Amino acid sequence: MSDKHSYVGQLLIAMPSLIDPEFSHSVSLICEHSPERGTMSIILNHPLSMTLQELIQQSSIDTPDHFDDHSLVRAGGPVGMDHGFILHDSDSQRWPSTIPISSSLSLCASNDILFDIAHNQGPRNCIAVVGYSGWSPGQLESEIADNYWLTADVDNTFIFNTPTSDQWHHAGKLLGIDLNLLNSNVGHA
């Protein structure tokens, strides 16, 4: 990989041959990628049974009586399951600990954003995530070369409007392929 190539802001799509239970049929958003620090992503399509409302209540944030958000929190990956993030569309407001992913997406780890969401002052679109996935420098590039992953450009419509149960199939369609038709016995030429 050249130093100029970065996967930040791209989808990481599990190939059918990837049978690891944490990543099978997963679709992740790459949030950080550098030759020095490695790669960090959050899985988008593994919902938990916890709702955003429950997460905010567990964070001891006072919520107005009218707050009622039952969107499911996602399991972002097997690392740091005690760390929460809000993936949101970028707008004029910035919260502490916000990492820009692209011109239209940001990732925030601040409780301030949870307070604002509970009080209808948060971002228009957001997903709550617990945990993340990480690779050491060069590890992801090696796994891509070994046909464990595909990468694709993405837009906010896919991230915020595609049901989690459909994201893996739709991610393949972004590349013009049906992932179910790929042979899991791939090799190198």
Give the distance between the most distant pair of CA atoms in the chain: 61
> pLDDT tens digits, the chain, 189 residues: what are they?
344 578 999 999 999 989 899 999 999 999 999 989 999 999 999 999 999 999 998 888 888 888 888 899 999 999 999 899 999 998 767 788 898 999 999 999 988 999 999 998 999 999 999 999 999 999 999 999 999 999 999 999 999 999 999 999 999 999 999 998 876 554 544
- The identity of residue 81, as a single letter, is M
Question: Left (φ > 0), alpha (ψ -120 to 50) or beta: where does 80 sit?
Answer: left
Q: Give the whole-angstrom CA distance, residue 7 versus residue 133.
A: 14
Give this prediction's pTM.
0.90
Domains in the chain with CATH codes: 11-181 (3.40.1740.10)
Rg of the Cα trace of the chain? Answer: 17
